[in-house]
Structure 1
Amino acid sequence: MSKSQHIIVDPITRIEGHLRVEAVIDENNVITDAYASSTMFRGIETILKGRDPRDAGLLAMRICGVCTGTHYQRSIEAVENAFDITIPKNARLVRNLIQGALYIHDHVVHFYHLHGLDWVDLVDALKGDPKKAQEESFNWSRTPYGVSESELIQVKERLAKFVKQGRLGIFSNAYWGSKAYKLTPEQNLIATAHYLQALDLQRDAAKLMAIFGGKMPHPQSLVVGGVTCVQDIQNPARIALFKTLLKKFTHFIKTAYLPDLAMAGVKYVDEALDGTGAGLKNFMSYGDFKLDDTGFYNAKNLFPSGVVLNGDLSKLHPFDQSKVAEDVTHAWYDASGPQHPYDGTTNPNYTGLEKKDDGYAYLKTKEKYSWIKSPIYDDHRVEVGPLARMVVGVAAGDERITKYVTNFLALLGDKLGLGKPAPTAALFSTVGRTAARAIETELMADVMIEWVDELAANVASGDLSTWTEFDFDKVSKDAKGYGLAEAPRGGLGHWVKIKDGKIENYQAVVPSTWNAAPRDYKDRMGAYEAALIGTKVADVSQPIEILKTVHSFDPCIACAVHIVDTKGKELSKFKVSTSCSI
């Protein structure tokens, strides 16, 4: 390649929603500029205006088709914060268990079914020798999961049928054979087997959410003031079922997910050590999973809150929700400047794409180019998600998080023959971001055992309270509140203003808003964009490196009504009434 190229990857596949990335790649195949754009519009906030705040959660959970329960809970917590309600211990534990189940389900599905194929060449697995693969598995786990020689023979036969028929189904349209893949055929065969096994096992994690949530997706047992699953927590069989399914899924996490991540980490360690995909190195966590009942935002959290800037783990900046703002300089909205969510507006102003002579439509990168706003914290662009939570936890000196991070780095260092743990700085990379999610999954699965035992013991002691009574007419006249916690993909905040018992204004700033945002009013990049800069692409026609880094954030660009095709042609227009008669 003699000169730079401007390429489009649209849609970014294996995510929730539609996401476009445009990248400028120089003559050395290095990305020098990048732009991330959501081509879908979300208008739930507008629909919520004028409604009863106690009903907000049921609508807000429709913001996403994946993290339904976490939007549900954040919305309810925003109203509880506005009304100054502290929920009972049983309700806190039930909510922790429902959200924890969402974490372990989401993270495992993400690694194997949404992100794993960026690291694993599934077609190359056909070259793998099942016997050698079985032997290889013991290099990564003392008790490897589901990869005996006979099981791997069956996996290989299934794959061979797909390839022979030319029908790869869910494995089609990938960059098989790319020079960017580094696992051996046997390692690819191991990971492919776990991919298929995880398809079955993820149902158990979904059942975990449904036991106390009522159903999955869109659980229905959370209400302002607590939870409604009274009979479930009083039934020892229900609690025992939860614990049994949790232990089964935890076994897969420890004997398949973590070993596979270590296997990939060793093969791609050069990308971790050179910081490929590091990006902003500014990390923020709202904090989440309350461990006591000392008040709405006074409780000790499993994940501490705070901000780490420039990758400096020696200094943790306290988090202050008043410093959150959203800017729309490069987003398809109108606003006078950065707005705090309490005063946030959602005024669409779609200015379109730029048609060029090659027949394609490109983002107007000097103007507005995304349906995602640009969140700012204290005038910093920040990254949120599992890596942010682990980084903030280590910076906060949290004993539990530091232990799990150190254990994984020690495992990686041992497999690399370093004689010491791998450096913490290796986490500041695409590989590290992916590893942080696995570290967090193990931590969450272990602590959930503690929570379910705590719930059983509390109920057995005679405490059956699940709801805090409140006088709606008294507390709901004029109030405002926020629900800030951590979704699997990162910091999720819902802000609500209530007037005369009805919602006057509502804003949700979701994890992929923080990470997938376009440039801001100072022309500073969002997390996706910054993470792509400096990445070397092996083959511009198969830019798997772009997918790998963007997928490491676990993108979720959901719930839209605006659609454009690849050449910018308008397909349809929809007018939706956001008012209703109650």
Structure 2
Amino acid sequence: MAKRIVIDPITRIEGHLRIEVELGEDGMVRDAYSSGTMVRGLETIINGRDPREAWVFAQRVCGVCTTVHAFASIRSVEDALGIVIPPAANLIRNLMIAQQYVHDHVMHFYHLHALDWVDVVSCLKADPAATSALQQKISPWPNSSPGYFADVQKKIQAVVDSGQLSIFANAYWGHPAYKLPPEVNLMAVAHYLEALDWQARATKIHIIFGGKNPHPNFVVGGVPMPIDLDSDTALNAERLSIIDDSIKEIQAFVDQVYLPDVLAIAPFYKDYAGIGGGLGNFLTWGEFPSGDIRDLKTLMVPRVAILGGDLNNLIEPDPNDASMMQEFIAHSWYQYQGGDQIGLHPWQGETTFNFTGPEAPYEQLNVEGKYSWLKAPRWNNTPMEVGPLARVLAMYATGHAQTKELVDLTLKTLDAPASALISTLGRTAARAIETKVFSDALRTTYDDLVTRIKAGDTKTFNSEKWEPISWPASAKGFGFMEAPRGALGHWIVIENGKTANYQMVVPTTWNATPRDPQGQLGAYESSLIGTPMAKPEWPLEILRTIHSFDPCMACAIHLTDAGGEDLGDVAVGLSVCGV
């Protein structure tokens, strides 16, 4: 009889995720189930409202994925109403999107994923002088002296001696699957701590253009920040200088800390180039338009579907084709008027709850029935993986020069074939590769914006179709964004000036999907099949693969008093996510 391993909750993610796996006698995962254990329903709040304010609610899907939902929402309305934003506004949006990528990916690597590979307690055995020599060998990062690493080691020693590991608690330190030398562990822990400070400085672009972070301000038709070099309340020379300095600091950390760390750690885990590949099917909606977003040729990240890992057969998916883009609920706690076996395109999508699960606590999911609050999106009746790996494969296959150079360099460094990209290690490397590409894009986009401002092109808002009197009685739109975690789509139906239907299909819904009516596994479930486990009671190997996707689930708070009495459920920020 197969042994069932339950991990609930998966930690170091946004939200609540339950993973159950069945182990064979050989200690390898032979089946897996992914369950989103919180309800999502933000769409029902947006319905009936002015579509121009939909983004305000949509961006509060969670505190991490604010910008991406706002842009996808705004783009859906602009698509429905035929609004074209000014070129300067497009550049400002691209700057905000690129900053979101870099900030999110660096935080994910150090604070959510790195500890799957880095044994924090092991760094106490490191020689600070040897760590210093290693740091100076791989990059010119200034924090590299023996004294600096000795001070970091003392901080960790004090935490361990206190008996309370704080942010490093509830981990599997000493697990036999950890392979890094103590010196590499010490270097990575030092950078973990540095990244905590770095992120506060990395958000200045959002703060200037959006007024705050998280939840910056946006507007349908452009951006809310006017450009006037002589004004104290607009984008002026001083603010441009702050953005310039922020980009320099972002690029320095990516080039001198993040990328060298990934390349220093990855060679110790080459076995993960053959673990966690999963579906082999990938989807991107596209990102970084250089012109009108409706012209897909202007996108730096192309719109592509890849089936079976075949990079020579790229398909352009149509998100508005109701026969190809559908969501299923056979194993999801929802109900459709037409029954559980049908699929619905998001424009016809329904959000009706139908919880049929057991009362908590329970030992195992009823995987033969409904077992997740996530729907099962499918393109062409096929489960797809979305995210950094999908984007890097799409850019690599379509000949993006910098991506191709970085991928080839990574494969050469790891002495691995191209097939190794479709794996847990490849997914982690892809995130670092696109971080480099997008951090460099920050610089070129900023330079383009400055050039346009000098030429006098400073318009940032298109008011032509702002008033509902100019709208058609009925309109439909699709708004997309390549969120850090993958392809994000917002579909809106507008009737008589109000939102008649609103549906979001978010990256983690694609990746963490349960089975569909045909029994097809989602990306999480498929990626875990064949994973070897050294100590099933310490399921580190499962965390490595799941974290390589960077899950972002819905959020809620369950309150108890000091005695453990239930005080009720409180929704946080209308969080529902999965980006």
When normalised by structure 2's length, the TM-score is 0.92
Alpha-carbon spacing, 1:295–1:23, altered in 2? closer, same or farther (3 Å): closer
The residue aligned with 2:412 is: 410
Alpha-carbon spacing, 1:305–1:563, altered in 2? closer, same or farther (3 Å): farther
Partner SS, residue 507 of structure 1: strand
Partner SS, residue 361 of structure 1: coil
The residue aligned with 2:429 is: 435
2:552 to 556, 560, 572: 556
1:506 to 478, 502, 509: 502
CA distance in 2, matches of 1:522, 1:409: 36
1:530 aligns with 2:526: yes
The residue aligned with 1:382 is: 384
CA distance in 1, matches of 2:551, 2:139: 33
1:455 aligns with 2:452: no
CA distance in 2, matches of 1:195, 1:478: 51
Checking the alignment, whether the CA contact within 8 Å between 1:494 and 1:507 is kept in structure 2 is yes
Checking the alignment, whether the CA contact within 8 Å between 1:134 and 1:149 is kept in structure 2 is yes
Runs of 5+ unmatched residues, structure 2: 228-232, 575-579
Give the superposition deviation at 1:138. Answer: 4.0
The residue aligned with 2:350 is: 345
Cα deviation code 1:2-58 (max 9, x no counterpart): x63101100000111000001111222100111010111111100011100000000
1:64 to 58, 62, 65: 62
1:361 aligns with 2:363: yes
Give the superposition deviation at 1:404. Answer: 2.5
Structure 2 residue identity aligned to 1:283: F
Checking the alignment, whether the CA contact within 8 Å between 2:33 and 2:525 is kept in structure 1 is yes
CA distance in 1, matches of 2:152, 2:350: 52
2:160 to 159, 163, 182: 163
1:124 aligns with 2:131: no
Structure 1 residue identity aligned to 2:196: L
1:183 aligns with 2:180: yes
The residue aligned with 1:488 is: 484
The residue aligned with 1:216 is: 213
CA distance in 2, matches of 1:31, 1:317: 32
The residue aligned with 2:226 is: 230
CA distance in 1, matches of 2:235, 2:161: 54
* Equivalent runs, 1:80-95 vs 2, <5 Å: 80-95=78-93
2:102 to 101, 104, 127: 104
The residue aligned with 1:252 is: 253
Cα deviation code 1:364-408 (max 9, x no counterpart): 100000000001011111100000000111222222322232233
The residue aligned with 1:399 is: 401
Checking the alignment, whether the CA contact within 8 Å between 2:374 and 2:514 is kept in structure 1 is yes
The residue aligned with 2:332 is: 331
CA distance in 2, matches of 1:91, 1:365: 47
Note the aligned Cα RMSD (angstroms): 2.1
Checking the alignment, whether the CA contact within 8 Å between 1:233 and 1:239 is kept in structure 2 is no
CA distance in 1, matches of 2:354, 2:142: 52
* Equivalent runs, 1:41-80 vs 2, <5 Å: 41-80=39-78
Structure 1 residue identity aligned to 2:265: A
CA distance in 1, matches of 2:61, 2:423: 29
CA distance in 1, matches of 2:384, 2:246: 36
Alpha-carbon spacing, 1:426–1:563, altered in 2? closer, same or farther (3 Å): farther
Checking the alignment, whether the CA contact within 8 Å between 1:62 and 1:559 is kept in structure 2 is no
Stretch moving more, 230-239 or 459-468: 230-239
The residue aligned with 1:416 is: none
Structure 2 residue identity aligned to 1:461: A
CA distance in 2, matches of 1:301, 1:330: 35
CA distance in 2, matches of 1:225, 1:91: 9
The residue aligned with 1:264 is: 265
Cα deviation code 1:80-119 (max 9, x no counterpart): 0000011001110010011111100000000000111000
2:475 to 472, 479, 487: 479
Question: What fraction of aligned residue pairs are identical, expressed as a percent?
Answer: 45
Partner SS, residue 227 of structure 1: coil
The residue aligned with 2:287 is: 288
The residue aligned with 2:230 is: none
CA distance in 1, matches of 2:559, 2:491: 27
CA distance in 1, matches of 2:188, 2:571: 46
Alpha-carbon spacing, 1:520–1:236, altered in 2? closer, same or farther (3 Å): same
Runs of 5+ unmatched residues, structure 1: 414-421
Alpha-carbon spacing, 1:264–1:86, altered in 2? closer, same or farther (3 Å): same
Checking the alignment, whether the CA contact within 8 Å between 2:106 and 2:258 is kept in structure 1 is yes
Stretch moving more, 453-462 or 399-408: 399-408
Partner SS, residue 269 of structure 1: helix
CA distance in 2, matches of 1:363, 1:476: 47
1:195 aligns with 2:192: yes
Checking the alignment, whether the CA contact within 8 Å between 1:277 and 1:533 is kept in structure 2 is yes
Stretch moving more, 78-87 or 62-71: 62-71
2:144 to 147, 150, 157: 147
Checking the alignment, whether the CA contact within 8 Å between 1:194 and 1:256 is kept in structure 2 is yes
Alpha-carbon spacing, 1:259–1:453, altered in 2? closer, same or farther (3 Å): same
Checking the alignment, whether the CA contact within 8 Å between 1:102 and 1:205 is kept in structure 2 is no
The residue aligned with 1:426 is: 420
Give the superposition deviation at 1:59. Answer: 0.5
Structure 2 residue identity aligned to 1:435: A
Structure 2 residue identity aligned to 1:393: M
Alpha-carbon spacing, 1:105–1:142, altered in 2? closer, same or farther (3 Å): closer
CA distance in 2, matches of 1:363, 1:460: 61
Cα deviation code 1:522-559 (max 9, x no counterpart): 10111000000000011011000111100000000024
Checking the alignment, whether the CA contact within 8 Å between 2:296 and 2:302 is kept in structure 1 is no
1:541 to 534, 537, 553: 537
Report how many aligned residue pairs link the two structures: 555
Give the superposition deviation at 1:412. Answer: 3.3
Cα deviation code 1:475-520 (max 9, x no counterpart): 1521110101200000000000000100000000000000011011
Give the superposition deviation at 1:233. Answer: 6.4
Cα deviation code 1:202-255 (max 9, x no counterpart): 1111222212121100000x2111011114764122111112111112111111
Checking the alignment, whether the CA contact within 8 Å between 1:145 and 1:255 is kept in structure 2 is no
Give the superposition deviation at 1:354. Answer: 7.7
